[in-house]
């Protein structure tokens, strides 16, 4: 078997080459964090703390830091709470701590921060999610405010917190539409990708 952990000389150098190209890819795409694995509350706390420190180092504007923090928490908790994950490691029980597989990527250029999250979703759940995001993207600031108030008041919410409020919050905080993609995995499920963009240009400069 060739691959990671193989001690054969040829595959070892293949692996090192892969690491080099992976490194180049991260630098090219200006990614500061790329993660694939279990998303839990501890991961959420660790990633947000790390990013907060990084943004302090580059003396990022306080408002922008808060927006990045908001979007990160909602994206990561969204995976932990709502991803459809049937692996043995997945946990949907609050008393055991939530855990779902997903990916999380954050990067930035001089214009914006971009945060991408990805997780499995059952195909039967796609139409409702697509409709929810398209509806959010069709609304202006006032429309989003009204929808936010309506969703907060809505009582039919699970103890994990309702999906939807998080997407509305991301759209309001970023002022940008939510970019998404469903990549088919098999007949049963797909991979849901969500990209949020936070402008680094201060409002008064726009």
Shorter beta-carbon distance to other proteins: residue 80 or 190? 80
Residue (of 143, 147, 179) closest to 165 by Cα position = 147
Query: For other proteins, which residue of 17, 23, 30, 45 counts as binding (CB under 8 A)?
Result: 45
Rounded CA separation 63/53 (Å): 15
Q: Which residues contact 56 (CB under 8 A, 6 or more apart)?
A: 65
Rounded CA separation 196/171 (Å): 8
**What DSSP letter does each residue of 114-166 carry, written as one string?**
EEEEEEEEEGGGHHHHHHHHHHHHT--HHHHHHHHHHHHH-----TT--TTHH
205 scored as a contact of other proteins (CB under 8 A): no
User: Minimum distance between the CB of residue 160 and other proteins, rounded to whole angstroms?
Assistant: 7
Residues in region 82-141 near other proteins by CB under 8 A: 94-95, 97-98
8 scored as a contact of other proteins (CB under 8 A): no
For 58, phi then psi, to 5°, come to -90, 10
Give the per-residue contact string, 64-93, with other proteins (x = CB under 8 A; - = no). --xx-xx--xx--x--x-------------
Shorter beta-carbon distance to other proteins: residue 2 or 146? 146
User: Minimum distance between the CB of residue 40 and other proteins, rounded to whole angstroms?
Assistant: 8
The residues that touch other proteins, with contacts defined as CB under 8 A, are: 41, 44-45, 49, 62-63, 66-67, 69-70, 73-74, 77, 80, 94-95, 97-98, 145, 148-149, 152-153, 157, 159-162, 165-166, 168-169, 173
């Amino acid at each position: 078997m060739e691959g990671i952990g193989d001690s054969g000389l040829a595959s070892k150098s293949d692996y090192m080459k892969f690491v080099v190209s992976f490194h180049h890819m991260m630098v090219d795409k200006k990614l500061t964090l790329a993660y694939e694995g279990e998303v839990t509350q501890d991961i959420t706390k660790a990633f947000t703390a790390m990013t907060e420190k990084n943004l302090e180092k580059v003396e990022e504007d306080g408002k922008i830091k808060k927006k990045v923090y908001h979007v990160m928490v909602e994206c990561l908790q969204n995976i932990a709470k709502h991803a459809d994950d049937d692996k043995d490691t997945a946990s949907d029980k609050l008393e055991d701590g939530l855990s779902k597989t997903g990916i999380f990527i954050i990067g930035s250029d001089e214009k914006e921060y971009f945060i991408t999250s990805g997780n499995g979703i059952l195909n039967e759940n796609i139409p409702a999610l697509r409709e929810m995001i398209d509806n959010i993207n069709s609304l202006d600031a006032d429309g989003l405010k009204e929808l936010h108030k309506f969703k907060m008041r809505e009582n039919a919410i699970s103890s994990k917190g309702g999906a939807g409020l998080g997407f509305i919050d991301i759209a309001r905080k970023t002022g940008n539409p939510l970019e998404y993609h469903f990549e088919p995995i098999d007949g049963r499920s797909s991979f849901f990708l969500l990209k949020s963009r936070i402008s680094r240009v201060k409002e008064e400069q726009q």
